Amino acid sequence: MRDNIVVLGITALLLFPVFSSFGRVSASSFEVTSVNWGTVATPIEVGPGDLNAPLTVTLKYVGWYAASTLKGTLEHAPCFTDLNGNTSTTAYATGVAPNSLFQLTFNLNLDENVSIGSAMFTLKLMWNTTWDTNLTQELTFPVQVKGRVKLNFDTSTVYLMPGRVNDVFINVNNKGTGRASEVTIYVTAPSQVSLLNVLDVVPTLDPGASVQLKLSVYVSPQAGGSPTTFSLAATYRDAYLNVRSTSQSLGFIIGSIEQATFKVHPSTSYLTPNELNRIDITIDNQGSTAMKDLRIKLSPQPPLTIIGTDGETNLGTLAPGQKTQFPITAYLPSTSSDSTSVSLTITYLDESQIIRSEVKTLSFLLKRTSELSPISIKVQPNTLVAGKANNLTILVSNIGTTPLRSISIMYSFQGGQFTWLQPDISQADQLLPGESFMVDAKIFAPPTSTASTILQASIKYYDTQNNLKQEIRNIGLLSQGLINLQMVDFSILPERPTIGQIFSVTVTLTNIGTIVSSAVIATPHLPSGFKMFGSNSIFIGDMQVNTPTTFTLSILITNTTKPGTYQIPVELTYFDNLRNQHTIIRNITLDVYEKGTSTQTSTIQRGSDAGFLPMVSYLFVGIVMLIAGLAIGRRSSHKSTIHG
């Protein structure tokens, strides 16, 4: 028994190098099962110019003994580098069990000149097992670069007409480097817009290609005169046949239904108190659309009274360019007021069969046969600036033929929005015929004030017979808000745009005025060598006070542009609260750089299968020695039995 143990020990010692070599053979068996950009579970798109793109290589280890540590060095194909510009990248793995799969991930930069297609890489493996160390193997495999898909949607249809069907042509552009396929676009429109069809599926869209799709929509008449946005969501397969999705919004401006433009005027502007006054009221349709089922409702200001009618009149249809006239009889008793008015509520059907209603006011002066006021009041300026204190000059004149004494005037506003600051009262001891005195006043108009107001002057004075006279004058003033659009910031992406490149400029505007600026539109005026992407103007909408608003311009620098510093004027148009249009220019300064390219190469070394035959030979010798050892053991056991 002791001899058997000795023989087995000697045999094990003889076989140790053989099994060590056998373990080396088994551990060196690595196979590449898959190569993915990104990860196996989450693949990504990769194209020329991408940086820090993860490349995951999945390997199968079919060795006999676990690889305790493993180092993988990836030798790059031309135009590929690591994050530091090197031509090789290293990754590590530990505890790789036999017959298991594991991944090595390498982060690579792709040059702009990388070709779309297949590139060959070499992976050099070095590992240790429980039997041996510093084992090596080389694997060569292809890596696919199919490019990145970049879908963009735009339309040349900017304006939609309410109350009718509009055909919107949507351009689908692939601005990437990879082919897109099975492009399906879903459109979501606001509630007042109805989609009449779905967009066709685009089978394939090559890099740089575009296709135009037709979308028919019906716009409700109630949506007229307002901007709207369509939301586009697209699904597609990228160049690696992975399902992707993207979304974008397209803005539109819905035009206004053309309304009737008409004018109302009376046959006289004067009324005689205590008499029946006949007035012919004329309505003149000065627009290009008909006013159907035209109805008039009169509302006189008391104590004015309309005689012989309830104040309602139906005038039928008033065609474009036509006039119609109807008479009224008005009675006004004696009053201290110098004027009176009649409000006309005018109702009609427009071209889209929508009921429209407007209120017009006709003002009348009182024709006094016995006495006219000797006081004249003039105010300059007649337009206030909202959000600040305004200086007014009031000129009070005696236009009568007799002197006036102890003149006092107090001021107030109808409605209460405006504030009279000073003086609290204007006085003059005496005012001879033809004389005047001026009052320097200060008025505050709040930022949210209405566009107009009535300054009411309560006048008291004594005539030559020492009679106290009192009058009330109503003076109309306009209120114009202050708008100041300032470009507070802008950013350029990329920061160093180069010739032949598309870049974007994001501009931040702030209204530092006192009122909202309405319907702001930005129109860039590009210098020679620059081209816009998308519409030439950007509708920003209303800009609140002190609220930053941003918009983005996408611009192409053509190949004929020279490096240098350029200014891009941006024209901003907007309306104030009086619907006056204003235009200002804000400039964007940018630097254009020369485009630079670089190409890096690397050497590919291929592995070999050298060493496999010698290891088979060692295995054969080991088996022969094992058989010889067992034979010697049996012979020794037989002799021991005989001697016993």
pLDDT digits (tens, 9 = 90+) for 273-319: 878 899 999 999 888 888 888 899 999 988 889 998 888 899 889 88
Going from the C-alpha of 376 to that of each of 62, 369, 437, the distances in angstroms are: 110, 18, 11
SS (H, E, C) 238-300: CCCCCEEEEEEEEEEEECCCCCCCEEEEECCCEECCCCEEEEEEEEEECCCCCEEEEEEEEEE
DSSP per-residue codes, 10-23: HHHHHHHHHHHHHH
> 3-class SS at 405?
strand
What is the rounded distance in angstroms from the CA atom of residue 151 to the CA atom of residue 161? 28
* DSSP tally for the chain: helices H, then strands E: 2, 43
Q: Per CATH, the architecture of 151-254 is what?
A: Sandwich (2.60)
Residue 125 pLDDT: 95
Tokens of 123: 């992976």
Global pTM? Answer: 0.42
Taking the CA atoms of 190, 191, 195 and 198 in sequence, report the sign of the dihedral they define: positive
Is there a contact between 545 and 386 (Cβ–Cβ < 8 Å)? no
Which pair of structure tokens corresponds to residue 65? 């003994």
The pLDDT, as a whole number, for residue 369 is 54
Q: What is the pLDDT of residue 336?
A: 65
Q: What is the per-residue pLDDT for 230?
A: 94
Q: Which pLDDT score, from 0 to 100, does residue 626 have?
A: 56
Q: Residue 162: what pLDDT?
A: 86
CA distance 179 to 236: 10
pLDDT < 70: residue spans in the chain: 1-28, 336, 352-353, 368-371, 415-416, 465, 597-644
Query: Is residue 145 within 8 Å of 121, Cβ to Cβ?
Result: no
Pick the CATH number of 2-146+610-624 from 2.60.200.30, 3.40.50.300, 1.10.10.10, 2.60.40.10: 2.60.40.10
What integer pLDDT is reported at residue 164 of this predicted model? 81
Q: What local confidence, expressed as pLDDT, does residue 517 receive? A: 85
* Amino acid 477: pLDDT: 82
Report the distance separating Cα 283 and Cα 279, nearest Å.
Answer: 13
Name the nearest CA neighbour of 294 among 315, 319, 263. 315
Instruction: Say what the pLDDT of residue 623 is.
Output: 58
Residue 334 carries which side chain, given as an amino acid letter? S
Please say whether the beta carbons of 414 and 374 come within 8 A.
no
User: Which pairing describes strands 404-413 and 151-155: parallel, antiparallel, or unpaired?
Assistant: unpaired
Per CATH, domain 485-592 is 2.60.40.10: yes
pLDDT of residue 640: 36
Ranges for all domains in the chain classified under CATH 2.60.40.10: 2-146+610-624, 151-254, 267-352, 375-480, 485-592
Check whether domain 267-352 has CATH 2.60.40.10, yes or no = yes
What is the pLDDT at residue 208? 92
The dotted CATH code for 375-480 is: 2.60.40.10
